[in-house]
Structure 1
Amino acid sequence: MTTTPRTWASGETPTGATFNAEIRDQWNSVLDAWTAYTPAWTGATSNPVYGNAVVTGRYMKVGRTCHVRIDISMGSTTTYGSGGWALSLPFTSAATGSQVGDAHVLMSARIAGHINVGGGATVGQIFFPTSGSPHTLSWASATVPVTWAAGARLTIALTYETAT
């Protein structure tokens, strides 16, 4: 609900309604509950399918800053597509800069990775380290960084600048 603040006139007497609209309602939008959304999950070659996965996506937008949390618990009917994975964002990112958030795999081990959001993007691409020294990042897929199976979890935490 964030709106552009009002321009006040010299000598103007504020009313209760004016204070509510300009102060209370603005703060309520900042302190509001997060909004649920289901991110689209795509693969570079063929798309994964959630099947009976448990998907929790939430975001909080304050001004042009968007905080996103995604948790996908893979199910027995989840399929993983082919090619690198991306998850849709609730809002298009700002046109400039690249923004990075955290990604984690919780399976037989916990593996830390990243979600990368390019300028003007509608999706974030997920990357995890591969073996070798130094570690390089590879695009997450059906077999990177693990061979995914029921019970595995992918969690995402991202804060990014939106276009509007």
Structure 2
Amino acid sequence: MGISYTPRTWTANEHVLAQFLNNEIGAPLTGMQSSWQSFPVEVDGWLRYDGTVTGAFMQVGKTVHARTTYIVGSDDFASPIAAAKFTMPLRPHADYALGGTLRYAPVGSALIGDASASLGKCLSCCIYGGDVIKLRDEGNAETAIAGTPWTWEAGDYMLLAYTYEAA
């Protein structure tokens, strides 16, 4: 990331005032700062009715920092065959491709929790199939499927945090 214009050239013996420095350097640097933006998250592989899912991301150059929170609702339920997949805010760079497809490139971590039993488990966030995140455990198995690693109920949660390079 850099300044997208040519700054002014100073001449010998010219008095450089703070106002000039602010206009030439300070304002462009302030404009380069990023802030968190929300993005719509879809949870595929689950039937979500009253659960809460939120997503936010920050892009600095081509680097994307993202976080997703999913709180399971009382009418939500996991698929017995498909793991939860979370949409990403921006498409990842093609360098994440393994064997010609975007499959299981680790980019972050997740904490999933069973609220009723006060249990938690750390997992890897992996790019899968283009622009979604799947959760993998230490044995590289998919998780967040019905009954895995526990029976999902209202109040259980998934907190994802990941960083990757955008396309």
Question: Could you tell me how far 1:125 is from its partner in structure 2?
Answer: 1.4
- When Rg is computed on C-alpha atoms for both structures, the one with the higher figure is 2
Map of 2:102 onto structure 1: none
Q: Percent identity?
A: 22
Question: Could you tell me how far 1:15 is from its partner in structure 2?
Answer: 8.5
* Deviation readout 1:75-114 (Å, 9 max, x if unpaired): 1011223412211100001111333211111112111111
1: distance between equivalents of 2:22 and 2:71? 47
Which one of the candidate residues 96, 100, 106 is aligned to 2:107?
Answer: 100
Map of 1:75 onto structure 2: 73
Question: Could you tell me how far 1:7 is from its partner in structure 2?
Answer: 3.4
Map of 1:157 onto structure 2: 161
Map of 1:125 onto structure 2: 134
Question: Could you tell me how far 1:122 is from its partner in structure 2?
Answer: 0.8
Runs of 4 or more above 4 Å deviation: 8-21
Map of 1:90 onto structure 2: 89
* Preserved CA contact (<8 Å) 1:6 1:22: no
Q: CA RMSD in A?
A: 2.6
Secondary structure of the corresponding residue to residue 125 of structure 2: strand
* Preserved CA contact (<8 Å) 2:62 2:166: yes
Which consecutive unaligned segments of at least 5 residues does structure 2 have? Answer: 97-104
Map of 2:51 onto structure 1: 53
Question: Could you tell me how far 1:18 is from its partner in structure 2?
Answer: 5.2
* Preserved CA contact (<8 Å) 1:128 1:144: no
* Preserved CA contact (<8 Å) 1:102 1:114: yes
Secondary structure of the corresponding residue to residue 96 of structure 1: helix
Question: Could you tell me how far 1:22 is from its partner in structure 2?
Answer: 2.5
1: distance between equivalents of 2:149 and 2:3? 44
Map of 1:138 onto structure 2: 141
Question: Could you tell me how far 1:145 is from its partner in structure 2?
Answer: 1.7
1: distance between equivalents of 2:111 and 2:28? 40
Which consecutive unaligned segments of at least 5 residues does structure 1 have? Answer: 130-135
Corresponding letter in the other structure for 1:94: H
Instruction: Tell me the matched-pair count.
Output: 147
Per the normalisation by structure 2, the TM-score is: 0.74
* Preserved CA contact (<8 Å) 1:49 1:78: yes
Per the normalisation by structure 1, the TM-score is: 0.75
Map of 1:23 onto structure 2: 29
* Deviation readout 1:50-69 (Å, 9 max, x if unpaired): 21112221111111111111
Map of 1:132 onto structure 2: none
